[in-house]
Amino acid sequence: MGMGVPLMLLTQQTLTGDSAHVKPTNIGGHDYFHKVVDCQWACPAHTPVPEYIRLIAAGRYSDAYMINWRSNVFPGILGRVCDRPCEPACRRGRVDKEPVAICRLKRVAAGPLR
């Protein structure tokens, strides 16, 4: 899977009659992620943005860097020159006034020594 999300957490509810039933979400195709992870699909490299943001939040900068590196071999450079198509697509921008500064976080993960 490579997304860092345990399969058991990916469920969706369907209402039938008086009760709610939880069935497993089909994550076999990329359509599911296209619907719920807008920033990742706006990125031309389809970098798994939520995964590396979680790693940065946990202080695991090297791991976050490697997540970026898998989808593009120059994350430190792209963190400086990318035009950030992921940020306008960020769902956080619909809740707050500003989206997550995804490109700047990529620079944080790359750090000065990587």
pLDDT in tens, 60-109: 988 988 988 888 888 778 777 888 888 888 888 888 888 888 888 888 88
96 vs 2: CA distance, rounded Å: 29
The reported pLDDT for the residue numbered 58 is: 92
The reported pLDDT for the residue numbered 39 is: 85
Q: Which residues pair with 23 in a beta bridge?
A: 12
Question: Looking at the chain, which residues constitute the CATH 1.10.1060.10 domain(s)?
Answer: 39-114
The reported pLDDT for the residue numbered 12 is: 43
> Which has more confidence, 29 or 85?
85
Find how far residue 17's CA is from the centre of its chain: 35
Task: Give 33-70 pLDDT, tens digit per residue.
Answer: 566 678 888 888 888 888 888 998 999 988 988 988 88
> Quick one: pLDDT band at residue 8, thresholds 50, 70, 90?
very low
36 vs 66: CA distance, rounded Å: 23
Say how many CA atoms lie within 13 Å of 12 toward its Cβ. Answer: 6
> Quick one: pLDDT band at residue 110, thresholds 50, 70, 90?
confident
The pLDDT of residue 22 is above 50 = yes
39-114 carries CATH number 3.30.360.10: no
Dihedral, 72, 46, 99, 25 alpha carbons, nearest 10: -140
The reported pLDDT for the residue numbered 13 is: 45
4: left (phi over 0), alpha (psi -120 to 50) or beta: left
